[in-house]
Structure 1
């Protein structure tokens, strides 16, 4: 807490009395200086409590007014007048000038020496400095924890909150990695401007101000190569303690952006283990493992499955690189059909579309992705089942299928366990499955039914797809109707059969995982 004139006057040991200039009582005292010159201005720099016995203030009101005027012009914080030597009380001229010019005037009692006032000021300033340093140290520890728990976005947010400023981090090409605060838009523009100029001038950073804020832009370098730029937009120039926080945040960012390949590989191996454990253990997984990757037990997430990624190691490496550049907390693991990605639920379909496009370009493959529904992180397995369902039940022409895009199926199958799906399909298709099992591979009535329904109950089209004669197809469908005891010409029956077939398809996907 800064030492104001009001606070100093409340020090009972000193016994000072504020006798004039009450409007400036909240002025901050930066030093205390005893001086007996008629014009102290050349000897002070601003913010001082000027102490005098009154030897040179002049006997007349006009001289005293001029004396106070010179202190005001020199930006003194306050004037303290001894009342035990030259004057028994603060002169009326000094009081009137203090009130007129807004300079606080303190009466110093005879028993209080100036050295006591000076010590009180120095002690308070020292304590304030110690508090400020301790706050910086505490905040530095918090920055490290935030980086470990939430990655770069958490660190940028923590810096912005600590400074009450807007903070932006961009990569070396000017791409936004993380933003925080109401003035982030302008800070982002300035950061990008510096990043564009760095290639020509090797700019380490810049500081400037406009009508909106004061901006500090610094390069975040690794081995002298800029990996990004941090911009801070503040209402006024940063104080030394605040600059220390910025410097510490930049050091942490440099470490994070410059992780060696071996560290990244080890981190990804751990991420894979945690992802697989999360799917298998759910709420039993230690939440501390999740915090390391930027999640906690209350985070709501979505599971994303990406297919046709090719060999797992290159796919994992490229996916991790694409997402890390965006500073998005994530979990990632190879699965049977490709990759499983877990991110916070604010990453919508458009984000997944962009991710698939970038990743597909890097891997030189045509990818498809399914996005599950929102779930608390302990229920990631449910979102994973929904993501798989989206891929197999959604429109095949779509590159990215959201579970909500599957319409009725999302309500029917959302989060269903393999046991529930088996019951849904078995109660309808059981007779066909038993018949197929008894007759081997020569006849597959379930496949015949699925193909017939997919071709809008058109015998010729279904036969052509299966590569059999239309009479064979007609015979098989007659057998289906006989075994099920249903009228296959009924629209209601066809809907029931189609739901059962889709449940069976999804069950096949889950059981082969």
Structure 2
């Protein structure tokens, strides 16, 4: 945080008071300089706190006005006037000039030496520099993590957020590799113009760094090279010139992008295979997975995650590539593996709904086919398998709704059943209520269908004739079957409690069937 005139007056040990030029109180001080000259301007470069005892300011109001005016023209931040040597108080001419010209005038008590003010300013400036350096270091770590998790699109998004700017990266063939921000198209255009100039011979330098000013602000264009080879260009479109700390961040991002662009295809393939292997191990073995492997992909042991399943994706290789590209556009960590006909993705729980919906829409659009999808409930990272099963059930439910992407949490009874119940518990629940009906159906013709009869009866709110029509049987047959259900279960079907119990059991049976189908 830069030191302003106002902040300097708030340092109680100095005892400074603002006596004129209040509108300049928020100007930033770049340095503190004691000077006793009639015309100090040749020694000023702008932003200084000028300190004087008043020896050369003149005695008349006009002289004092001219002195203050010269400081304003030189870009001084403020004037600190000593009241213990030449003057007992700040002269009225200095005060009036400060108010008229908007230059902050500070009254310095006799007990405060100029060196104390200079030291206070230097301390604040040093602290600012340390904070700026620490911020750069923190951002560099963020960029490194983003690169590991999502490659070039992720580091570009991280850099764009850090600089509040629009960015674009193109390769030497002028293909867009990543963009960020509303003005990214303009950044792409300028980057391509530099690439065209380099290719045509107008610029023979392999390494290019230039700034183009225009209606869209300032565009800093940096070439991306590795091992003497030019790989592309990074364009950063900002409102103003980049500060030194911002240029450091750009340079660091360029280095990371260079590494990514020069990364051998075998390394990329190895990372992809490792991610899939870690995902499969996590789903199969849970807490027995090596924590360091999870951390490599951005997940802490206490992380909350949710599983996303994309179904009916067609050829898996193409679907994997599309999904990987889309996930890489964010700095969000993810794990991913294909199954026989699906793509399973594990992401942080807080972003799972947005990511799942986006993947379902964009992967389907890029593959030019209608795909299904589901999202499981949040779980600890070591319990990701449970979330995956829930996502599978949600995807199946979505398949009955024109392959809509379904969040398991929105399935009502389904969510209640599988939210905390294991497969074994569901089997026990279903058998305790429906076991006798199962035995009867198994021992008789499949046409008897007592389980199907109960399901239809419940589905149609106990309306016997409507349920009979749905099953394609006579109403008397329907009543006979219901009487057999009452006989075998010993339960009164007119009871709301019994109907609820039967509905849960039937629903559990359906979900168990879904899980079996997807194994």
TM-score range (shorter-chain normalised) is: 0.5 to 0.7
What residue number does 1:64 align with?
A: 64
Check conservation: 1:429, 1:446, Cα contact below 8 A: no
CA change 1:90–1:201 in 2 (3 A) is same
By how many angstroms is 1:256 displaced?
Answer: 5.6
Deviations 1:152-209 (A, max 9, x none): 8986787678x6x64555676889976xxxxxxxxx3322333356445649875567
What residue number does 2:277 align with?
A: 273
Deviations 1:295-330 (A, max 9, x none): 445654432223344565554333212322355432
1:116-127 equivalences in 2 (<5 Å)? 120=119, 124=123, 127=126
TM-score normalised by length of structure 2:
0.66
Query: Using the alignment, how far apart are the partners of 1:171 and 1:92 within structure 2?
Result: 59
The one of 194, 211, 214 equivalent to 2:187 is 194
CA change 1:304–1:457 in 2 (3 A) is farther
CA change 1:274–1:5 in 2 (3 A) is same
Check conservation: 1:157, 1:167, Cα contact below 8 A: no
Query: Using the alignment, how far apart are the partners of 1:12 and 1:482 within structure 2?
Result: 88
- Alignment of 1:382 with 2:375, yes or no, is no
By how many angstroms is 1:65 displaced?
Answer: 2.7
Check conservation: 2:305, 2:379, Cα contact below 8 A: yes
By how many angstroms is 1:411 displaced?
Answer: 3.4
By how many angstroms is 1:385 displaced?
Answer: 1.7
More deviation in 38-47 or 416-425? 38-47
By how many angstroms is 1:71 displaced?
Answer: 1.9
What residue number does 1:322 align with?
A: 326
TM-score normalised by length of structure 1:
0.67
Check conservation: 1:168, 1:176, Cα contact below 8 A: no
By how many angstroms is 1:332 displaced?
Answer: 0.9
Query: Using the alignment, how far apart are the partners of 1:175 and 1:447 within structure 2?
Result: 62
Query: Using the alignment, how far apart are the partners of 1:26 and 1:394 within structure 2?
Result: 59
More deviation in 251-260 or 265-274? 251-260
Query: Using the alignment, how far apart are the partners of 1:486 and 1:199 within structure 2?
Result: 76
By how many angstroms is 1:395 displaced?
Answer: 4.9
By how many angstroms is 1:45 displaced?
Answer: 2.6
What residue number does 2:39 align with?
A: 39
CA change 1:206–1:103 in 2 (3 A) is same
SS of the residue corresponding to residue 381 of structure 1 reads helix
Query: Using the alignment, how far apart are the partners of 2:120 and 2:413 within structure 1?
Result: 74
1:13-412 equivalences in 2 (<5 Å)? 21=20, 23=22, 27-32=27-32, 37-50=37-50, 56-79=56-79, 87=86, 92=91, 95-97=94-96, 99-100=98-99, 101=101, 102-104=103-105, 120=119, 124=123, 127-128=126-127, 131-132=130-131, 134-144=133-143, 146-147=145-146, 166-167=164-165, 188-196=181-189, 198-199=191-192, 202=195, 224=230, 238-249=242-253, 251-252=255-256, 255=259, 260-282=264-286, 289-296=293-300, 300-309=304-313, 312-345=316-349, 352=356, 355-356=359-360, 358-360=362-364, 367-393=371-397, 395-402=399-406, 403=408, 406-412=411-417
Check conservation: 1:174, 1:196, Cα contact below 8 A: no
Q: Any gaps of 5 or more consecutive residues in structure 1?
A: 179-187, 463-473
By how many angstroms is 1:93 displaced?
Answer: 6.0
SS of the residue corresponding to residue 333 of structure 1 reads strand
Check conservation: 2:36, 2:53, Cα contact below 8 A: yes
Query: Using the alignment, how far apart are the partners of 2:499 and 2:82 within structure 1?
Result: 103
Query: Using the alignment, how far apart are the partners of 1:447 and 1:343 within structure 2?
Result: 46
By how many angstroms is 1:287 displaced?
Answer: 5.8
Query: Using the alignment, how far apart are the partners of 2:110 and 2:2 within structure 1?
Result: 24
Give the paired residue count: 477
Q: Any gaps of 5 or more consecutive residues in structure 2?
A: 197-209, 457-466
